[in-house]
Amino acid sequence: MTRIRPFRPGDEPALADICLKTADDGVDATGVLDDDAIWAEIFVLPYVARHPDLAFVVETDDERVVGYIVCAPDTDGFEEWFSGEWWPQFAERWPKPAAEHSRQDGILLYAYGRRPRAEPFSQGFPAHLHIDLLPELQGQGFGRRLIDTLIAALREGGVTGLHLVASSGNTGALVFYPRLGFSPLPSHDGVQAFGMAL
C-alpha cells in the first residue's frame, strides 16, 4: 500500500531522480542542462541535509520512493547556510557564470545569488517548501497529504507561516496551491509565490 513516511538516509538518490523528472515546469528535465545533477543539489538535497526532520516521502508497496516534500522552517537561516556552507562545495564543479547565456547559467546564477532576504516572502511566511510527485502518483491526493503532514510538523514546531514559489509556466501548480488554502503573493516575472499563515 502506498504510504507517506519520514525521510530516511539513503533516500537521496530517489529524491534526486524525482527532482530531475519533474524539474521542467512539472515534467522531465533530463538533458535540459549540461549537468542533470544541478537540479537536486539546489532544490532538494540541501533540504534533507539541513532539515531531515521536515522531509517526508511517498513510498509504494514495492518500496519505491515516488514523491517528496522538503522544507526549511526558517528561510533566512537556511539561505545563510546554503550560501555559506552548502553551495561553496560546488564552486569548482559549477563555477559562477559571467552572464546568463543558457538556462543552466540562469539556474547557477540563482544558486550563487541565494542569501537571506533575497526574496520578501519570508517576512510573513518564514518557512518554505519544495514538493514533487512522479506523474504516476499525481491526481491521487498525495500532494495534499504531503502538505498536510508538513503543516502539522511545522505547527508542532511553532512555525507561524509557510510559503512556496512556483514557476509561472507550471499551470498545474498554479491551480493546485490555492485549493489547499495558499494565497497568491506579489511576485516577480516568471514565478508565482503563495503563502499560508499557520
3-state secondary structure the chain: CCEEEECCCCCHHHHHHHHHHHCECCECCCCCCCCCHHHHHHHCHHHHHHCHHHCEEEECCCCCEEEEEEEECCHHHHHHHHHHHHHHHHCCCCCCCCCCCCHHHHHHHHHHHCCCCCCHHHHCCCEEEEEEECHHHCCCCHHHHHHHHHHHHHHHCCCCEEEEEEECCCHHHHHHHHHCCCEEECCCCCEEEEEEEC
- Residue 119: the pLDDT is 83
pLDDT digits (tens, 9 = 90+) for 8-55: 999 999 999 999 999 998 899 999 999 999 999 999 999 999 999 999
Domain boundaries, the chain: 3-197
From the options 3.20.20.70, 3.40.630.30, 3.40.50.300, 3.10.150.10, give the CATH code of 3-197: 3.40.630.30
pLDDT digits (tens, 9 = 90+) for 81-107: 999 999 999 999 999 999 999 999 999
